[in-house]
Amino acid sequence: MSELLAMLTPGAPEMKADMIRGTSKNKITAGDIAACLVHVDRHTYLYALSKFCLDDEARSELNRLAIAEAEHCDYRVSESEPDDVVIRLALAALNYAISASRCCACNGVGQLIEQAKVTTCSRCAGSGNSEMSVRRLASILEVGRWRSQKVWMPRFQALVSDYQVRDDALHIVLRRGLQDG
């Protein structure tokens, strides 16, 4: 995750005035973010509003899009698993991407400053997020731990990586829209 995106998430420290160009002094408003998202697709737009603007009004449509995307993957479900396991997986990946647990080593930035050098955080591999545990995923999906680890965790990670791609695209869009350049 880039430093800019990490600083836009709730709970991040305030940005310096020379880093941003928003409508409010030393702050980026929800309107500033929305104005930068003119050329992104609907799923990415709703994702950005939910992640950076804490806009829950668009969440039902975003949930439907996330579920449709996961169902499009045609994941096979065993007979012993709940019928809605793919829906649970899609919503778990979306929730994780929107409000993942921050890495405690880098505080969600993905980078550390060590001896006056910026390095990628080794604990989170630069993502800024702590990993979803197999036990927690098994609990969310209501499947066994073995099945969660071998079958559903790779699928979960694939869905989350799709949101990381969206984050990368948002990074470019927001950097252009919010920084002088």
Domain spans of the chain, in order of start: 3-178
Residue 119 forms beta bridges with which residues? 112
* pLDDT of amino acid 34: 81
Query: pLDDT-based confidence at 110, cuts 50/70/90?
Result: confident
d(CA 32, CA 116): 33
What angle, rounded to 10 degrees, do the helices at 134-141 and 85-98 form? 130
* pLDDT of amino acid 6: 52
Would you tell me how many other CB atoms lie within 10 Å of the CB of residue 125?
Answer: 12
d(CA 121, CA 148): 27
Over residues 136-150, the mean pLDDT reads: 95
Over residues 106-123, the mean pLDDT reads: 84
* pLDDT of amino acid 24: 53
Q: pLDDT at residue 15 above 90? A: no
Q: pLDDT at residue 17 above 50? A: no
Q: pLDDT at residue 108 above 90? A: no
For the chain, what percent of residues have pLDDT higher than 70? 82
Q: pLDDT at residue 4 above 80? A: no
Q: What are phi and psi of 35, to 5 degrees?
A: -65, -30
Q: pLDDT at residue 42 above 60? A: yes
Q: pLDDT per residue over 83-94, tens digit each?
A: 999 999 999 999
d(CA 56, CA 74): 28
Q: pLDDT at residue 1 above 60? A: no
Q: Residues 6 or more apart from 39 whose CB is under 8 A from it? A: 173
Q: HSE-up of 176 (CA within 13 Å, CB side)? A: 10
